Chains A and B, each alone.
Chain A
Amino acid sequence: MWSSGSRKEEPETLDRSYAERTSDVLVIGSGGAGLRAAIESKDRGADTLVVCKTLLGKAHTVMAEGGIAAALGDVDPEDNWKVHFSDTIVEGQHLSNWRMAEIFAKEAIERVYELEQYGALFDRTKEGKISQRPFGAHTYRRLCHIGDRTGLELIRTLQDQVIKRSIAFMDEVAVTKVFTDPKTGRASGAIGIDIKSGRLVLFRAKTVVLATGGCGRVYQVTSNSYESTGDGIAMAYRAGAELMDMEMIQFHPTGMIYPAGVRGILVTEAVRGEGGILTNTKGERFMSKYDQKRMELSARDVVARAIYSEIVAGRGTKNGGVYLDVSHRGAAYIKNKLPSMYDQFLEFAGIDITKEKMEVAPTVHYQMGGIRVDPETGETSIKGLYAAGEVACGLHGGNRLGGNSLSDILVFGRRAGAAAAEAALGSELPGISQPDIEREIDRILSPFSPGTGANPFLLKEDIAKNMWKHVGIVRNGEDLEAGLQEVQRMRTVAANVRAKGGRIYNQSWLDALQVWDMLLGCEAIIRSALERKESRGAHTRSDYPGKDDRWLVNIITVEKDGKMSHDLRPVPRPPPELAALIEKE
């Protein structure tokens, strides 16, 4: 059962050889969206291969805490998909794709029951139904949860289903490029680094699903994991796909700020869902100034801006945060409903949240923008290339509601997996051109070029500092331009980034390649932010403070003649029967 391991020969640093793997469907990413896509694809009879950068089961989905939003109506029987649809569109500041929101609100319900039948153990109501907790800007109590470890349960449940179905997977493989068939333009495979052996692997596939998550790590203070570097966005863009609404970066209102070593770690919205109160150093419950009706449970963009404003106005703590207090709910209740928050504060900060206040400040949390996809199938603007989850765009508009991402990955992960499998089953294997492969191998191996160059770890820190400084919660044209210039300057540094050491599990090599993806993501965010001359949802411009309905457009980012270009497209209008459901603000 357990071996002592076999000796692995380390390849020469400039070894250009590669192994090949062929499948009907290639799924890149093993978070909730990737695993759900793989399950669906396999169940429909397609030979499916999952590759992911992390170990299986470590994807950023494990970090999701508060719950999964679906209008079961188990706690509030008045709730139904129509209200969930309306909440999603209204709080998305009317930038969401109506059809995606409709599919999402309807199918989230089935996906939650399905997850339960896959083995997930949700908290229960007294009647034995699935318990649902309140969350910011959801009209009804809607978040099905597993204490405050909902994402962990979701990923483990799907992981078990993947193993049960014997779905092929290769973990710790960093994919660097998606190929398209030079004749037809269809997606035809990918290439990447098998991190454990240091060898290259070429993947040939009939269809490809991107489920690579977001790019939160381009910011200095973020709740995101190591892998959230926007690789999927960069790969899709380089393959010619359209990106959309890249300026929309969600700042979660509450991240840890103290001690410095743990800055950015998420403090779940469930703390406020369970009655947590925000106060400034004057002891004022300041949310009454910003949203008197919903208070702490207002939308994330509103609460994040409120906290930001309090700190800027000098009513923040010396560590640069505000207070969040849930101690009035009592120790037993807190330990039961927020067990990992209790542990997190006790172990990292030495604070007992059943007795003391937490110190919190906004942290970069989610990318609402991403690859533009077809609402029904998740197909991108490249045939045969699908995207689902955080890497895809269209559902969340200008601001994502808490809990909507977990249902998003299940609903659209499943749909992308289904469409990718159906398309693959009836088709021939498309081609990959050898020059394309060789060019990419050149790029992959370039950090091993002779000579000295930048340290990728330091460069990543600089990238993150630049975004935090110039492209934060409140933006302006001048800062954005400065941020863009800095990105261009760092590009020249990145051109000479160097890896150190051999090929087996070499992080400096992986990070050197990530740097380019991150800079591409940064440029797309900044250029889109410069483009949108208004303040809407997560995007606030101090030089254009108001919401302006001329900007009811989606900003498309696409490569034209080797340059990043933009296109403004009006947000599709819902049909009258759905428009009637959308509540007027």
Chain B
Amino acid sequence: MSLSLESTTQTAKAVRLRILRGVGIDPGEMKYDTFDVPREEGMVVLNAIHYIQANLDPSLSARWNCKAAKCGSCSAEINGKPRLMCKTRVDSIEGDITVEPMKAFPRLRDLVTDVTENWKVAATIPAFTPKVAPGQVWRFYQQDVDRSREFRRCIECFLCQDVCHVIREHKADYVGPRWVVKAASLDMHPMDGLNRAEFMKDEGGLGYCNITKCCQEVCPEHIVITDDAIIPEKERVVDRHYDPLVWLYRKISRSPSQVEAGTKKALKAVFWVTLLAPFVLVPMYFLAISLL
């Protein structure tokens, strides 16, 4: 009697996990396995995974490392939402829990995906480049630090990459939210001497992002990815490429090889005329009116 009672209590307390299993990228080989795991106070989904490995099925694979939401290894989709398994409390979810690997990346086994393409993308972002010669001790202030600080919280869990429909559905040439955040963290570094707008517009494919803000909703570090990184980076591109005066000025000052000397001289004239015209023409207009 006591045994069956205990077993009933256990079942009543158990949480049911449905886990998408399989090896490799072939969707035909995927299947869901169901496991009942006893609940423990404060338990997170990763605890349940560990219970399954130790007690029910040691062949289950899941990538994890710090189990403290600091390393970003245990990314998965929990009931369809990209989340860290170590940070998702079982008692925050009602009913069964479905755990699937991230969909934007090729699957290796069970919940583990291959995220290595991120390193290739990382290598394309123009690196931190100090604007002063090395050797001296730098002085700058907390408010300078604070602009970049938010982006440095990134733990590279790649959940933002996973949820990004540009990467997930179109595999387009867009670096993705994580790498825009990286570029922003460097662009807003007080001692960095580069502007990554050029890169973001061309190789970075920033134009593909249509600001659906899905990435900032899933960020476990609460980085406001779209508002604080993507939009300012987009603004940099706009400032640089679509402001006619800036465009003209850059043609003159920054591209000596592309523009012949004569053309450059002419462009320079146009630039100064356009810039100064209002200051000359407007007073002349008023002068003319007052004289008439």
- A: residues with CB less than 8 A from B are 1-8, 10, 54-58, 60, 62-63, 113, 116-119, 121-124, 127-129, 131, 146-147, 149, 152-153, 156, 160-161, 163-164, 166, 171, 196, 223, 225-227, 258-262, 265-266, 340, 343-344, 347-349, 455-458, 461, 499-502, 504-508
Query: Which of chain A's residues have a CB closer than 8 A to the CB of B167?
Result: 2
Residues 141-183 of B contacting A (Cβ, < 8 Å): 141-142, 144-145, 148-149, 152-156, 167, 171-176
Q: A4-B106, A127-B139 are in contact. Are A119 and B23 (CB under 8 A)?
A: no
Q: Are A504 and B140 in contact (CB under 8 A)?
A: no
Query: Which of chain B's residues have a CB closer than 8 A to the CB of A160?
Result: 127-128
Min CB distance A34 to B, Å, is 15
Besides the known contacts A1-B120, A119-B128, A506-B61, 8 further A-B residue pairs in the complex with CB atoms under 8 A apart: A7-B24, A128-B141, A161-B127, A166-B123, A262-B42, A457-B50, A506-B59, A507-B60
Q: Are A56 and B73 in contact (CB under 8 A)?
A: no
Query: Which of chain B's residues have a CB closer than 8 A to the CB of A502?
Result: 23, 109
Q: Are B53 and A507 in contact (CB under 8 A)?
A: yes
Query: Which of chain A's residues have a CB closer than 8 A to the CB of B174?
Result: 1
Q: Are B114 and A5 in contact (CB under 8 A)?
A: yes
Query: Which of chain A's residues have a CB closer than 8 A to the CB of B109?
Result: 501-502, 504-506
Residue B6 lies at the interface, judged by CB distance under 8 Å to chain A = no
Residue B44 lies at the interface, judged by CB distance under 8 Å to chain A = yes
Residue B201 lies at the interface, judged by CB distance under 8 Å to chain A = no
Query: Which of chain A's residues have a CB closer than 8 A to the CB of B25?
Result: 4-8
Segment among B63-71, B223-231, B236-244, B267-275 that sits at the interface with chain A: B63-71
Q: Are A128 and B68 in contact (CB under 8 A)?
A: no
Q: Are B55 and A458 in contact (CB under 8 A)?
A: yes
Which residue of B is nearest A5, CB measured?
B106
Residues 8-42 of B contacting A (Cβ, < 8 Å): 23-26, 40-42
Sorted from nearest, which 6 A-B pairs have the closest CB atoms? A259-B42, A5-B106, A501-B59, A119-B128, A128-B139, A457-B54
Residues 36-90 of B contacting A (Cβ, < 8 Å): 40-44, 47, 50, 53-55, 57-73, 87, 89
Q: Which of B61, B66, B128 contacts A226 (CB 8 A)?
A: B66
Q: Are B65 and A504 in contact (CB under 8 A)?
A: no
Q: A119-B189, A225-B66 are in contact. Are A58 and B73 (CB under 8 A)?
A: yes
Residue B119 lies at the interface, judged by CB distance under 8 Å to chain A = yes
Residues 190-209 of B contacting A (Cβ, < 8 Å): 190, 192, 205
- Expressed in whole angstroms, the Cα–Cα distance for A199 and B62 within the complex equals 19
Query: Which of chain A's residues have a CB closer than 8 A to the CB of B219?
Result: none
Q: Are B127 and A163 in contact (CB under 8 A)?
A: yes
Min CB distance B103 to A, Å, is 11
Query: Which of chain A's residues have a CB closer than 8 A to the CB of B67?
Result: 225-226, 265
- Expressed in whole angstroms, the Cα–Cα distance for A458 and B26 within the complex equals 31
Q: Are A63 and B23 in contact (CB under 8 A)?
A: no
Residue B4 lies at the interface, judged by CB distance under 8 Å to chain A = no
Q: Are B155 and A152 in contact (CB under 8 A)?
A: yes
Q: Are B65 and A54 in contact (CB under 8 A)?
A: yes
Min CB distance B124 to A, Å, is 9
Q: Are A60 and B139 in contact (CB under 8 A)?
A: no
Taking chain B's interface residues, is the majority helix, strand, or loop, or is none over half, making it mixed?
loop
Q: Are B68 and A344 in contact (CB under 8 A)?
A: yes
Q: Are A153 and B152 in contact (CB under 8 A)?
A: yes
CB pairs A–B below 8 angstroms (22 shown): A1-B173, A5-B107, A7-B24, A8-B108, A58-B66, A62-B66, A119-B192, A123-B145, A128-B140, A152-B152, A225-B66, A227-B65, A260-B41, A343-B69, A348-B44, A456-B58, A457-B54, A461-B54, A501-B59, A505-B110, A506-B59, A507-B53
Query: Which of chain B's residues have a CB closer than 8 A to the CB of A3?
Result: 106, 117, 171
Min CB distance A410 to B, Å, is 17
Q: Are A265 and B64 in contact (CB under 8 A)?
A: no
Q: Are B54 and A226 in contact (CB under 8 A)?
A: no
Segment among B130-138, B245-253, B257-265 that sits at the interface with chain A: B130-138
Query: Which of chain A's residues have a CB closer than 8 A to the CB of B176?
Result: 2
Which residue of A is nearest B164, CB measured?
A2
Query: Which of chain A's residues have a CB closer than 8 A to the CB of B105?
Result: 5
Query: Which of chain B's residues have a CB closer than 8 A to the CB of A127?
Result: 139
Q: A152-B70, A166-B123, A225-B65 are in contact. Are A508 and B53 (CB under 8 A)?
A: yes
Residue B99 lies at the interface, judged by CB distance under 8 Å to chain A = no
- A-B contact count, CB below 8 Å? 201
Query: Which of chain B's residues have a CB closer than 8 A to the CB of A504?
Result: 23-24, 108-109
Q: Are A226 and B65 in contact (CB under 8 A)?
A: yes
Min CB distance A405 to B, Å, is 16
- Expressed in whole angstroms, the Cα–Cα distance for A507 and B44 within the complex equals 20
Q: Are B127 and A266 in contact (CB under 8 A)?
A: no
- Expressed in whole angstroms, the Cα–Cα distance for A196 and B109 within the complex equals 9
Min CB distance A114 to B, Å, is 9
- Expressed in whole angstroms, the Cα–Cα distance for A506 and B50 within the complex equals 14
- Expressed in whole angstroms, the Cα–Cα distance for A60 and B67 within the complex equals 11
Q: Are A505 and B108 in contact (CB under 8 A)?
A: yes
Q: A10-B24, A123-B145, A260-B41 are in contact. Are A2 and B72 (CB under 8 A)?
A: no
Q: Are A124 and B142 in contact (CB under 8 A)?
A: yes
- Expressed in whole angstroms, the Cα–Cα distance for A123 and B72 within the complex equals 24
Q: A128-B139, A344-B68 are in contact. Are A55 and B53 (CB under 8 A)?
A: no
Residue B112 lies at the interface, judged by CB distance under 8 Å to chain A = yes
Residue B93 lies at the interface, judged by CB distance under 8 Å to chain A = no
- Expressed in whole angstroms, the Cα–Cα distance for A124 and B62 within the complex equals 40
Query: Which of chain B's residues have a CB closer than 8 A to the CB of A5?
Result: 25, 105-107, 114
Q: Are B138 and A117 in contact (CB under 8 A)?
A: yes
Q: Which of B44, B61, B116 contacts A261 (CB 8 A)?
A: B44
Residue B115 lies at the interface, judged by CB distance under 8 Å to chain A = yes
Which residue of A is nearest B104, CB measured?
A2
Q: A57-B156, A153-B152 are in contact. Are A457 and B24 (CB under 8 A)?
A: no
Which residue of B is nearest A461, CB measured?
B54
Residue B121 lies at the interface, judged by CB distance under 8 Å to chain A = yes
Min CB distance B97 to A, Å, is 15
Q: Are A147 and B149 in contact (CB under 8 A)?
A: yes
- Expressed in whole angstroms, the Cα–Cα distance for A585 and B47 within the complex equals 45
Residue B186 lies at the interface, judged by CB distance under 8 Å to chain A = yes
Residue B122 lies at the interface, judged by CB distance under 8 Å to chain A = yes
Q: Are B139 and A55 in contact (CB under 8 A)?
A: no
- Expressed in whole angstroms, the Cα–Cα distance for A455 and B52 within the complex equals 11
Query: Which of chain A's residues have a CB closer than 8 A to the CB of B61?
Result: 501, 505-507
Min CB distance B151 to A, Å, is 10
Q: Are A55 and B41 in contact (CB under 8 A)?
A: no
Interface centre among B55, B58, B105, B190 (most CB of A within 10 A): B58
Which residue of B is nearest A256, CB measured?
B68
- Expressed in whole angstroms, the Cα–Cα distance for A200 and B112 within the complex equals 19
Q: Which of B108, B172, B222 contacts A196 (CB 8 A)?
A: B108
Min CB distance B178 to A, Å, is 12
- Expressed in whole angstroms, the Cα–Cα distance for A58 and B116 within the complex equals 13
Query: Which of chain A's residues have a CB closer than 8 A to the CB of B172?
Result: 1-2
Interface centre among B42, B104, B112, B154 (most CB of A within 10 A): B42
Min CB distance B11 to A, Å, is 20
Query: Which of chain A's residues have a CB closer than 8 A to the CB of B40?
Result: 259-261
Query: Which of chain B's residues have a CB closer than 8 A to the CB of A7?
Result: 24-26
